Homo-oligomer: A and B are copies of this chain.
Amino acid sequence: MNNPYAPHPPLPAALIEELAQRFVDRFSISQAVRDQHGRDESVHPAAAPDAVVFVETTKEVAEVVRLCSQHRMPVIPYGAGSSVEGHFLAICGGVCIDLSRMNRIVAIHAEDLDATVQPGVTRKQLNAELHGTGLFFPIDPGADASIGGMAATRASGTNAVRYGTMRENVLGMTVVLADGRIIRTGGRVKKSSAGYDLTRLFIGSEGTLGIITELTVRLYPLPEAISSAVCTFPGVDAAVDTVIQTIQLGIPVARIELLDALTISAVNRYSKTSLTEAPTLFFEFHGSPSAVEEQATLVQEIAVGHGGMDFEWATRPEDRSRLWQARHDAYFACLQLKPGSRAFPTDVCVPISRLAECIRATNEDIARSAIPIPLFGHVGDGNFHLVVLIDPDSSQEVAEAEQINHAVVTRALAMEGTCTGEHGVGIGKQQFLVAEHGEAAVDVMRALKRALDPDNLLNPGKILP
């Protein structure tokens, strides 16, 4: 596998020897292992690291970082490999720190509604472990991502409208700094005014300021009752207006997801569902049985008022699971719409008052393109995705996808939105950072990077343009 990015010096033989001696069979420079750690779910060209270390403790991470720092070699953290923005592509070479073996649940504090986990624990693993405690961890990006990676990209998912994103749900972390020092940020308290918010500084920093090696996350009591519903609409506008009114009335909906007709058709084929192929909202309500019923009735009234049809309820756990599994598989379902295609996902988020307008204009972009482009998203937060299904070998289709992404981001920014609601900047969104934040704010980000990683060794080439 060639590295199509900037050329970079090879790993010094001394460093290879030191790492090999220290980590023995947990250190690899085999092409297969490197290749596996050099490609993600994105359309960005693969870029293999020069070596991979499978670490098992915070101290080991610190050792690797310190050794690499002595040789001025980049280090790149790797979690579950589910990035869609090239986060861990080794575009400047260097050593990949694979954290997937750090997958131990350190402690579950049921009384305090928190759990401390290693970064390689995945969201599904944590929830499986919580089975029987009456608690759950709500954040659910599409993939079974690692919790460390989710923190590093400030991930969210379908529940964020009710439970927040990783920003709101990490209480504290252990982080290895660029020089190998180990710090603890935050803690286990629900709130604190004790100094700078280092936890939030590392959340969303995508491995460029430090490597997260332990996290304490919030848990929530499993709702006594859960009810899901599916409702189709005559058009996307009607669906979005339903969302806006639901949010504005303060109905504490747990999930409210939009899938356009093309996405539904992909879902039907992939997940063997028989949903009406029209713009559709998936809802979920959490609470006491009566609260859930009340919320659901209210939302149904709002939906019907906007032309919502075929309101179908899923209250049995297996029906709900099937519904949300289908939703989580939407991304993979879409890929099947065009065999051999790769997904070029967009990820804008706008203030909800602009959402209908933003989606309407985006649908015109979609209509003008010959590429199949399903649209779905977490519309309760104003966040939606296009999945532009391109032939990766067609430079014309790649260019067209880039053009569409550019148009969608530019439109979202003009509406006071963001270029990425939950995927992160990685490589793909760097070009929009100044447009979104302004040159001075990006300069502040650069100053923070220099302060914490003066030699630019932590995941270089990511986030900052």
Give A residues with C-beta under 8 Å from B. Answer: 109-114, 153-156, 160, 164-165, 167-168, 177, 181-185, 187-198, 200-201, 203-205, 209, 220-221, 223, 244, 247-250, 252, 287-288, 290-291, 294, 347, 349-353, 381-383, 416-425, 429, 432-433, 436-438, 440-445, 447-448, 450-452, 463-464
Contacts and interface: CB of A to CB of B under 8 A. Distances in A.
A208 to B, nearest CB: 9
A451 B464 CA distance: 17
B183 A353 contact: no
Given A189-B351, A191-B422, A450-B451, A221 B197 contact: no
Contacts of A188: 351, 416
A154 B200 CA distance: 13
Given A448-B196, A452-B444, A113 B248 contact: yes
Given A184-B437, A191-B422, 18 more contacts: A113-B247, A181-B443, A182-B440, A189-B421, A190-B382, A190-B383, A193-B418, A194-B425, A194-B432, A195-B204, A195-B425, A195-B436, A196-B209, A201-B201, A221-B248, A252-B252, A288-B294, A448-B448
Contact of A249 (B155, B192, B221, B290): B221
Contact of A194 (B190, B294, B418, B444): B418
A196 B204 contact: yes
Contacts of A288: 291, 294
Given A112-B353, A351-B189, A416-B188, A447 B452 contact: yes
A212 to B, nearest CB: 14
